[in-house]
Amino acid sequence: MLAIGSPTTGLRNSTTCTALLRELEQIWNDIGETEVDRDRMLNELERECLEVYRRKVDEAANTKARLHQTVAAKEAELATLIAALGELNIHSPIKMEKRSSSLKEKLASVTPLVEDLKTKHEERLKQFADVKAQIEKISGEISGYHPAMSTLVLDEQDLSLRRLNEFQTHLRSLQKEKSDRLNKVLQYVNEVHSLCGVLGLDFGQTVGDVHPSLHGTDVEQSTNISNSTLEGLEHTIMRLKTERKARIQKLKDIVAKLFELWNLMDSSKEERNGFSSITSILASSESEITDRGALSTEMIEKASAEVEKLARMKASRMKELVLKRRAELEEICRLTHIQPDTSTAAEKSSALIDSGLVDPSELLANIEAQITKVKDEALSRKEVTDRIDKWLSACEEENWLEEYNQDDNRYNAGRGAHINLKRAERARVTVSKIPAMVDNLIYKTLAWEDENKAHFLYDGVRLGSILEDYKLTRQQKEEEKRRSRDQKKLQDLLNNQKEAMYGSKPSPRKSNSFRKTNGYRSNGNGSMPPTPRRNSIGSGSSELLTPRSYSGRQNGYFEMRRLSTTPLNFVAISKEDTMSYASLCGSEPGSPPQG
């Protein structure tokens, strides 16, 4: 039966629709409508519902579009008012709203702000008109004539407080007349004096080019305060600030080169202190640089000369720096078990520098990039390498435990025996976790390889291969242990048969002889641990290989480390069967076993 309604319909509506459909179905059953007619009528019902939905969606979309246009118009009007009034601290509430809101909410939030700004715009426009009228009136009084057209242009697109303050400042300057103009000239002159001091320029000549009276002693009587003088001082200040900015940038470039060369050359602190006044510029803004002569041409030339001197020294020491950084790269690779890039090997780099085929700076930059790459790779490998360290530590414990188990005197009440017993207990717990460690390490390694689309190499060998070999070797070792236990059971069975045949146990001499023949020795309590000094057939397969076994490096040579037990010493079962059978059936009591 066709289900009508959206999945998001409320429980009540869903129940109603279901009830109606059931009622309709019952009516159809009573009428005897066929399945074809039922499907047709259901399709018509669904189509009618879709048409109603579509009509409602279209109406809602039109309403949304109109609201969207209204909101956009309000936002545009708001932006225009904000720009005209210069209210940079006012932002659209729609853009400031962090949560998602509806169009009606947006319209409701922006409309009051637009109305407020309209009112403020009208008030601001009136303020500008009042100030403008006063300025024109006072200007006419000062000049002695009234121009036919206003000299002040009111830009209604810029009604900011900054612009209004400029008008008011102009008005106050006209009201105060000479005293205000004089203060302004003195302010400009002081700024020019400060800039000239920082730049190392002649102050008298600089202000004299604007007007000769600016450098006089009787300032109040002789200083010219005309508009041309003020404009000349303004232009001079702008020119000096531009020059200051250019010199700061030039000096910063020089200081950056100085730091680079100092770091490369390992310059001493005393050598750097001679330029402390220059290097401090890097951390200073333009307004903070006030020391006299800090940006003078002499200071810039001094720094440039130091750069040239260090550049000449750099050329002679680049080879040493390249080899030093390469050694650091190799040390990082050694500690992280990553193969270093052979393209910048010490011998190759030295030959390239000597031949002049490559720029040492480029080679050094290449090595620096390789160091960064290795550090990033080591960071991505950290989770795997940490697990490798835990695995190797567990293998070391396994080694110790197996050596401990071969000690015939381990249960003697000697000095430190209880410490070894406790360590053996901990070691057994650790060793029992090794298979899970290896499986987890394989999983992490494969996950790393999938993520990085590359093999996980440990000292140049794929770690996955090492782990698979380790698992295989460990399985072979466990198999050998199992065979050893089976062999011991068989030997005990043969001994029991021999005892049943002859009515007595073999003499200690024959028992010891038999054990020595098979590579075992008695420890006095009936157990027969393997002898650590003899190898048996297939002993090579019982050694567990670890990454150190593959490529452990020490003093430039490969160090082979086997994290395993001493190989079990036994021969094939078929040989044991033959030898045991001969000792029972082909030898007299008391004779040594036949090998």
* Amino acid letter, residue 570: F
Same domain membership, residue 216 and residue 169:
no
Same domain membership, residue 213 and residue 164:
no
Task: Identify the CA nearest to 546 among candidates 409, 391, 318.
Answer: 391
Residues with Cβ within 8 Å of residue 557, at least 6 apart in sequence: none
Q: What is the pLDDT of residue 101?
A: 73
Task: Identify the CA nearest to 87 among candidates 158, 153, 154.
Answer: 158
In order of 209, 242, 481, 524, the CA distances from 527 in angstroms are 112, 95, 15, 8
Same domain membership, residue 583 and residue 484:
yes
For residue 323, tell me if it sits in a domain: no
Same domain membership, residue 140 and residue 51:
yes
Instruction: Count up the domains in the chain and report the number.
Output: 3
Each residue's pLDDT, cut to its tens digit, for the chain (595 residues) gives: 444 444 544 555 667 878 888 888 899 899 988 889 888 988 998 898 899 999 999 998 898 898 888 888 888 888 888 888 877 777 666 665 655 677 777 777 778 888 888 888 888 889 888 888 888 876 755 554 556 556 666 777 778 888 888 888 888 777 777 677 778 888 889 888 888 888 888 888 888 888 777 776 554 445 666 777 778 889 999 999 898 888 888 888 888 888 888 887 777 777 777 777 777 777 777 777 777 877 888 888 888 888 888 877 776 778 888 888 899 999 999 998 988 988 888 888 888 887 878 888 888 889 999 999 999 999 999 999 999 999 999 999 999 988 888 887 777 766 777 888 888 899 899 988 989 999 999 999 999 999 999 999 998 899 889 999 998 998 898 899 899 989 999 998 888 888 888 765 554 444 443 333 333 333 333 333 333 333 333 333 344 556 655 544 333 323 333 333 333 333 333 333 333 333 333 333 333 333 3
Please write the tens of the pLDDT for every residue from 343-392.
888 888 888 887 878 888 888 889 999 999 999 999 999 999 999 999 99
Same domain membership, residue 580 and residue 502:
yes
Query: Is residue 263 a contact partner of residue 168, using CB atoms and an 8 Å limit?
Result: no
The CA distance from 219 to 182, in Å, is 9
In order of 303, 459, 511, 519, 570, the CA distances from 532 in angstroms are 73, 30, 20, 10, 12
For residue 4, tell me if it sits in a domain: no
The CA distance from 334 to 341, in Å, is 12
The CA distance from 59 to 55, in Å, is 6
Q: From the CB of residue 106, how many other CB atoms can be counted at a distance below 10 Å?
A: 22
Q: What is the pLDDT of residue 553?
A: 38
For residue 280, tell me if it sits in a domain: yes
* DSSP secondary structure letter of residue 399: H
* Amino acid letter, residue 472: L
The CA distance from 455 to 321, in Å, is 32
Phi, psi of 535 (to 5 degrees): -105, 145
Beta strand pairing call for 552-554 and 457-458: unpaired
CA 376 to chain centre: 9
Where does 144-213 have alpha helices with state H?
161-176, 178-199, 203-210
Among 295, 329, 356, the domain-final residue is 295
The CA distance from 244 to 382, in Å, is 50
DSSP 233-285: HHHHHHHHHHHHHHHHHHHHHHHHHHHHHHHHHT--HHHHHTTHHHHGGGG--
Q: What angle do CA 397, 425, 542 make, to 5 degrees?
A: 40
For residue 592, tell me if it sits in a domain: yes
Q: Which two tokens stand for residue 348?
A: 């190759």
The CA distance from 374 to 338, in Å, is 8
* DSSP secondary structure letter of residue 566: P
Same domain membership, residue 134 and residue 197:
no
Q: Under DSSP, is residue 153 helix (H, G, I), strand (E, B) or coil?
A: coil
Same domain membership, residue 168 and residue 185:
no
Query: Is residue 441 a contact partner of residue 391, using CB atoms and an 8 Å limit?
Result: yes
Please write the tens of the pLDDT for every residue from 240-275.
989 888 888 888 888 888 888 888 777 777 777 777
Domain that holds residue 286: 177-295
β-pair partners for 553: 558
Same domain membership, residue 228 and residue 162:
no
Q: Which two tokens stand for residue 226?
A: 């005309």
Query: Is residue 203 a contact partner of residue 211, using CB atoms and an 8 Å limit?
Result: no
Query: Is residue 563 a contact partner of residue 399, using CB atoms and an 8 Å limit?
Result: yes
Q: What is the pLDDT of residue 483?
A: 92
Residue-level length of the chain: 595
Same domain membership, residue 210 and residue 169:
no
For residue 381, tell me if it sits in a domain: no
For residue 403, tell me if it sits in a domain: no
Q: What angle do CA 435, 441, 442 make, to 5 degrees?
A: 90
Phi-psi region of 554 (alpha: psi -120 to 50; beta: other; left: phi over 0): beta
Among 243, 271, 295, the domain-final residue is 295
For residue 444, tell me if it sits in a domain: no
In order of 97, 373, 445, 481, 572, the CA distances from 546 in angstroms are 60, 26, 15, 20, 27
Q: What is the pLDDT of residue 171?
A: 84
Q: Which two tokens stand for residue 315?
A: 């050329």
Q: What pTM, to 2 d.p., does this model score? A: 0.39
Phi, psi of 574 (to 5 degrees): -60, -40
Task: Identify the CA nearest to 309 among candidates 356, 354, 274, 262.
Answer: 262
The CA distance from 84 to 89, in Å, is 13
Same domain membership, residue 201 and residue 170:
no
Q: What is the pLDDT of residue 62?
A: 92
Among 264, 295, 326, the domain-final residue is 295
Q: What is the pLDDT of residue 95?
A: 63
The CA distance from 552 to 458, in Å, is 10
For residue 344, tell me if it sits in a domain: no
Same domain membership, residue 551 and residue 524:
yes
Same domain membership, residue 169 and residue 182:
no
The CA distance from 84 to 64, in Å, is 30
Q: Which two tokens stand for residue 484?
A: 């050893």
Beta strand pairing call for 552-554 and 557-559: antiparallel
